[in-house]
Amino acid sequence: MPTKRLPPKPHLDHLKRQAKDLLRAHRAADPGALQRIREFHPRFSLRPDAAIAETPFSLSDAQWTIAREHGFASWPRLKAHLERPTLADRLDLPHHERIEDPVFRRGVDLLDAGDAEGLRAHLREHPGLARQRVTLEGGNYFRHPSLLEFVAENPVRRGRLPSNVVEVAKAILDAGADAGMATDALELVVSGRVPRERGVQAPLVDLLCDHGADPDKAMLAALGHGERQAVDALLRRGARLSLPVAAATGREAAARDALPAADAQERHLALALAAQHGHASVVRLLLDAGEDPNRYNPVGAHSHATPLHQAAWHGHEEVVRLLLGRGARLDLRDTLWDGTPLDWALRGRRDAVAALLRGAR
């Protein structure tokens, strides 16, 4: 779920104007505005554009959407962040430095130091710590992490992990972290570069799955971030070879086999992932099955953009040609940076794709 960063000196009046602009855009049935509402307002989740446009949408709805779009649970929480900030609201600090609870912070420090024995003692002294969560709003994710989620180093805080991080994670699991916390940690492990770079991604996957983490729930995080080794590890641990998995990994035959039984959400996700990863044959299969190239991608799959944005950014020329041939629009703008597919190609220095998009105007 991509969120927008607040400017260095945010002002509540500016955010109020953004809410009013969103309200007007909803009334005009602007596709980008409808996508933002679908993603960030829970009442509109998974609704099609027409249903969102036809449903009453108030200024308070717009303010709630703006707040969640910036990583806050509500408009009052965003307002409090601006008017009465606490240490947890210091978005300029690494996440561990924003922790206000000294017991929780001590647990993270022991984790980061690789002090497994010290961490076990700390967890025995504070038996509720392994099941506790802290609130760190204002970002893309990691808003209510448990101690276990800090083993993934995702988001990156220090850029490193202790060599015994698997032992450290086991200490937290043994102290009472539940299967839901293990699944949350697994999503971060399989989508983070640091666990892979440190050679602990697969061992952590095994440990977390051994303690009840759901490999299917973590799969989209791995696919969306192109962590192919993690995808293989999740499949090994029993994740389903669904249509989106087949599409993201270029398994055309498996995608063809899975297509008839796939629901609308799986098909939508499959097109987004196939375009992102450049699997033209799977993109063609899905377009032939009736998928719309002009829908914004679903939540969890770069939903601020369309398949054409993603294909352009990654330089997948064959996919770009295919999408253009099937009517993909050049004028749709992403909801995060307000760029067209051509803007994305230019920013990514994909010269051949940029020339192709210019020629299609």
Dihedral sign of CA atoms 310, 312, 313, 317 in order: positive
Per-residue pLDDT band for 9 (boundaries 50, 70, 90) equals: confident
Instruction: Decide: 309 and 354 in contact? Cβ < 8 Å.
Output: no
CA atoms of 119 and 109, how far apart (whole Å) = 9
Instruction: Decide: 130 and 148 in contact? Cβ < 8 Å.
Output: yes
Q: Which residue has the higher pLDDT, 9 or 255?
A: 255
Domain borders along the chain are: 12-85, 95-240, 244-359
Burial class (CB in 10 A: 0-12, 13-18, 19+), 87: exposed
pLDDT value at residue 106: 98
Residue type for 9, please?
K
pLDDT value at residue 112: 98
Q: How many CB atoms lie within 10 A of CB 125?
A: 10
pLDDT value at residue 1: 58
Per-residue pLDDT band for 121 (boundaries 50, 70, 90) equals: very high
| Peptide bond just before 155 cis, omega within 30 deg | yes
Going by C-beta distance under 8 Å and a sequence separation of 6 or more, which residues neighbour residue 295? Answer: 268, 306
Give the residues across from 133 on adjacent strands.
146
pLDDT value at residue 234: 98
pLDDT at 64 over 80: yes
pLDDT value at residue 101: 98
What is the dihedral angle through the alpha carbons of 281, 285, 290, 291, rounded to the nearest 10 degrees?
A: -50
pLDDT value at residue 8: 86
pLDDT value at residue 293: 97
pLDDT at 343 over 80: yes
The DSSP annotation for 33-60 comes to: HHHHHHHH-GGGTT--HHHHHHS---HH
pLDDT of 262-316, one tens digit each?
Answer: 999 999 999 999 999 999 999 999 999 999 999 999 988 999 999 999 999 999 9
% of the chain residues with pLDDT over 90: 96
If we measure between CA atoms, which residue out of 172, 180, 160 comes closest to residue 104? Answer: 172
pLDDT of 74-93, one tens digit each?
Answer: 999 999 999 999 999 999 99
Q: Do 95-240 and 244-359 share a fold?
A: yes
pTM confidence score:
0.93
pLDDT of 129-187, one tens digit each?
Answer: 999 999 999 998 999 999 999 999 999 999 999 999 999 999 999 999 999 999 999 99
Q: How many CB atoms lie within 10 A of CB 145?
A: 25
Secondary structure (3-state) at 146? strand
Q: Is the domain covering 95-240 a CATH 1.25.40 domain?
A: yes
% of the chain residues with pLDDT over 70: 100
pLDDT value at residue 63: 98
pLDDT value at residue 2: 74
Class of domain 244-359 as given by CATH: mainly alpha
The DSSP annotation for 268-305 comes to: HHHHHHHHHHT-HHHHHHHHHTT--TTSPPPTTS-TTS
- Helix, strand, coil shares of the chain, percent, nearest 5, are 60, 0, 40
Mean pLDDT of the chain: 96
Per-residue pLDDT band for 46 (boundaries 50, 70, 90) equals: confident
Q: How many CB atoms lie within 10 A of CB 240?
A: 13
